[in-house]
Structure formats: C-alpha cells, structure tokens
Amino acid sequence: MNGKNIFIAFALAALLPAEASQFWLYESGVKTLTLSDTDPEAVCTPVKVYNVSPVANGSTKLTKASDNTIPFEGCPLGGASFDFTLPIKDGEGIDYALVSIASECFSGNNYIGSVKLPDSFETLGSGAFRSAKYLKAFAFPANPTSLTSVGDSAFYGCSRLEWLEWPATIATIAPYMCNSSGITGIYFPAVTEIKGSAFGITPNLRTVEFGGSDGQTIVFKPQCFQGQGTTIKTIFFHEATPDLTEGFVNGGNNFLDHVGWTGLVIYLPMNASKDDVADGWKTWVQDYLAVFTGSSFTFPQKNPDGSWTDGSWYHHANYAPARKTYVIRAWDPAAKTVGALLCY
C-alpha cells in the first residue's frame, strides 16, 4: 500500500463507526477492494480483491468480475476470509455494496477459506467457486432482499465445504450445484425444484431437510442426488410434497434409488390437527408404489397414548435383487420433536 492509500485508509477509519475495525477500501482507478486490518500480526492481510467495478456508470452497486490474477500476499491455502458484509467505501466516503460475483471468477482459487455475503447481494454466477477446494465456510445473506440467482456448478468440487444455509429467495437448485462437494447437511426453506446432478457424488451428505408449505410441490429431476458413495441417512419434509415423476425417465435414476443404502429415515410431517400424516403424502405414496411391483408402505400410526409407531417402506430396487427397507416417522416441524433433532 503506497503513501496515498495509507492516508486514505486512516481518513476512512475516522469516518466509520468506532466498532467497525475493518472495512473494504474501493479504489475505482485500479478496480480493487482492499481489506483494512488493525491487527499488525495478521498473516493474510490486507486481502485484495481484483477486477471489481460498478454494474453501471455512476452506480454504487459493485460486481466482482473475472478471476483474481494476482496471488494473495502472505496468505496460506484457505487463509483468505472475504466478509462482504463489512462496509465498503471509496476515498471520498461514498458507500458501495457488492451485489454480484461473476461466473467462474473464483474457480480453482485455493486461497479462499470463507465468504460472507451481504443482504443486498443479488447474483452468484455459474461455477463461481468451482473447485475452490479450501473453501470451508460460505454464508448466504442472512436476510436476503434481492438474491434471485445462483448459477449451476457454483460449489462444484468444494471438497471442504460442509454446510450451506440455503436462502429462501432461491427456489430452483441449478444442475451440479454442489456436485462432488464435502456437503454433510443442507436445509432448503422454500425449494420447488432440484435439477439433475445437483448433489451427485457427495459421499459425506447425511441430512437433507425441506421446508415449504402445505400444497407446495418439490420436483426432483433425474439423478439430482445420484452418485457412488452418496449415503443420506435422514430426510425431513415439512409440508411440501415431493414429485419424483421425472426420476423414472432414465431407468429408475430417482431420488430414493440412489441415496440411503442403509438406515435411511424419512420424516413425514403431521397435518395441522396432529392426528395423522399430511394428506398429500398418501397420493404421492400410491403413485410411487405403482412403479415398483411388490412394494408396500405403511403410514406411521398414532397410538392411544399420543405416541407414534413408525411406518415402513419396502420396495424392490430395480438395479439390484435385494429389497430396501426405509423407516418412516411422523414428526411435528413446528415443535422440532426429538426425531427432528436426530439429524443434528
């Protein structure tokens, strides 16, 4: 950092609230964001983000375009932390906000360890973090207001990324979204469609939870969870009903044929009266079992003392002679019963 930039950094520090120990300095002339740091012993600062510019002339919305062509100075692998919720200001004190990260721009980058996006964020491009294998933590906006697009393969090959809190503003999961990643669990608050191969080859994936509302349908595309080593153990549905129709197009490459090789537990939601399982499930099960001759299904039953007895699902997998056994349990999503807590 040259003398001019040091002066600007000190000037900006005076403009910011006392509790803001860090901020991003936006320099339009060289299209960079530079993270300030008050810790003299930090080994990975200042982190510099290159190729940043307004989305349009005169706009205070910024986009991160193309890749970072200059290595991070002093950063170990996975040592860079990009917290874009911190203030962004230029040398004149004008406020900016990062709203998009372009396609492939951090693809293959081994320095990124964590990323946190602001509520104003709008678009994450295709393959934005593809094969960023040292990325361990990624936080979507806590209260998204404008996030409308997450491109395909955004986290493909992120082998150290274990968890994503999916934003409620994104209803469609793009193809290859987390394929070949280290994901262990994920919660979808309002997803209506999961594209093919979105979570293929995810050997660490154990828990998948779906939010939604009564009457909502979640469409599972062929092979969306397919892949050798995919071993989901627990699936929670709140109120939405899955549509597996297209899962049977390519020789039975459907959601449940390729997950949960052993010990899969499926939690079905109770209806509003808490006396039975949601009605939409009965139609779904009938349609599903029609495809597998000899399959059988029993719904969880409520006992006189108010407890529930597990249901069972037996079906003949069409790629192997052995029958599969799934345990079906009823649960109350609002109350987060003991069963619901097993996944965590």
In a domain, 25, yes or no: no
In a domain, 30, yes or no: no
The arithmetic mean of pLDDT across residues 194-222, rounded, is 86
**Sheet of 265-269, strand order:** 163-165, 185-188, 207-210, 234-237, 265-269, 323-331, 311-316, 296-298
* Predicted pLDDT of residue 323: 59
> What CATH number is given to the structural domain containing 268?
3.80.10
pLDDT of 15 higher than 60: no
In a domain, 174, yes or no: yes
More confident residue, 310 or 74: 310
Q: Is the peptide bond before 46 cis (omega within 30 degrees of 0)?
A: yes
pLDDT in tens, 33-53: 988 876 666 667 667 888 999
pLDDT in tens, 247-257: 654 444 456 65
The arithmetic mean of pLDDT across residues 12-29, rounded, is 65
Interior CA angle at 18 toward 12 and 19, to 5°?
115
pLDDT of 341 higher than 50: no
pLDDT of 135 higher than 90: yes
% of the chain beyond a pLDDT of 70: 74
Total number of domains in the chain:
1
* Predicted pLDDT of residue 315: 67
pLDDT of 192 higher than 50: yes
Type of residue found at 190: A
More confident residue, 282 or 79: 79
* Predicted pLDDT of residue 295: 73
pLDDT of 89 higher than 80: yes
Residues spanned by the domain of 285: 76-341
Check residue 270 and report its DSSP letter: B
* Predicted pLDDT of residue 240: 81
In a domain, 22, yes or no: no
Where is average pLDDT lowest: 105-114, 186-195, 262-271? 262-271
The arithmetic mean of pLDDT across residues 259-265, rounded, is 62
> Of 67, 62, 66, which Cα lies nearest the Cα of 87?
62
pLDDT of 56 higher than 80: yes
d(CA 107, CA 258) in angstroms, rounded, equals 28
Where is average pLDDT lowest: 185-194, 207-216, 270-279, 323-332? 270-279
Q: Is the pTM of this model over 0.95?
A: no
pLDDT in tens, 140-177: 999 998 898 999 999 999 999 999 889 999 999 999 99
